[in-house]
Structure 1
Amino acid sequence: MATAEKISITMTPDMLRAVRESVEAGEYASTSEVLRDAVRLWQRQRLEDAERLDAIRARIRRSLDDPRPSLSTEEVRQHMETLFAKAQEDAARRA
């Protein structure tokens, strides 16, 4: 395990109570373990957010680079109406 560094943090009373209750319930061995788990979750969430953002940027780039002609306003309206009608039909079948 890498060398650990001790830090000091400030938490609201509600947050601290939740951490302590989790330790007392046996979910974690210590408050440090709770916070390490929280940081791991935060790191994973940041990575997932970055991956989603990269995917969105790639889709935008593909769209901008698409050589097909743009749709007219009328074509978009007709397409949206078709999608809406299909969604209504699907909802009616499920009801």
Structure 2
Amino acid sequence: MSAIERMTITMPAEMAALLRQTVAGGEYASTSEVVREALREWTRARDIERRDLESLREAIQAGLNSGPGIPAEDVFAELRARYANKA
């Protein structure tokens, strides 16, 4: 187990009250436990966001590496012509 470090945090009164109520309600044994759980969730969310961002960057790079693009107006003109012939 890693070393325990004592910290002092500041938060709005509403958050502090919610923290105390959560502990008083028996969901957690201490306010420290609530804060640790919140930090674990924040860390997980941040890791997911970083992975998603990296995937997006890779997809953008793959698109850039795939060759020149086609102007949207050309694509739409071709589609209009194709569907006009079917009508």
| Distance in 1 (alpha carbons) for counterparts of 2:75 and 2:6 | 58
Matches within 5 A, 1:1-95: 1-67=1-67, 69-77=68-76
Instruction: Quickly say closer, same or farther: Cα 1:4–1:78, change in 2 above 3 A.
Output: farther
TM-score for the superposition, normalised by structure 1 = 0.75
Larger radius of gyration: 2
- What CA deviation, in whole Å up to 9, does each residue of 1:16-72 have, x standing for no partner? 0111111111111100000000110111111011001000000000000003x4222
Segments of structure 1 that go 5 or more residues without pairing to the other structure are: 82-95
**2:64 partner amino acid:** L
Aligned residue-pair number:
80
In structure 2, C-alpha distance between the alignment counterparts of 1:78 and 1:57, rounded to whole Å: 30
Q: Following TM superposition, by how much is the alpha carbon of 1:2 offset from its aligned partner in structure 2, in angstroms? A: 1.0
Root-mean-square deviation over aligned CA pairs:
2.1
Structure 2 residue aligned with 1:87: none
For 2:40 and 2:46, locate their aligned partners in 1 and report how far apart those are by CA, in whole Å: 10
**TM-score of the superposition, structure 2-length normalised?**
0.81
Label 1:22 to 1:76 Cα distance change in 2 as closer, same or farther (>3 A). Answer: farther
Q: Which runs of 5+ in 2 are unaligned?
A: 81-87
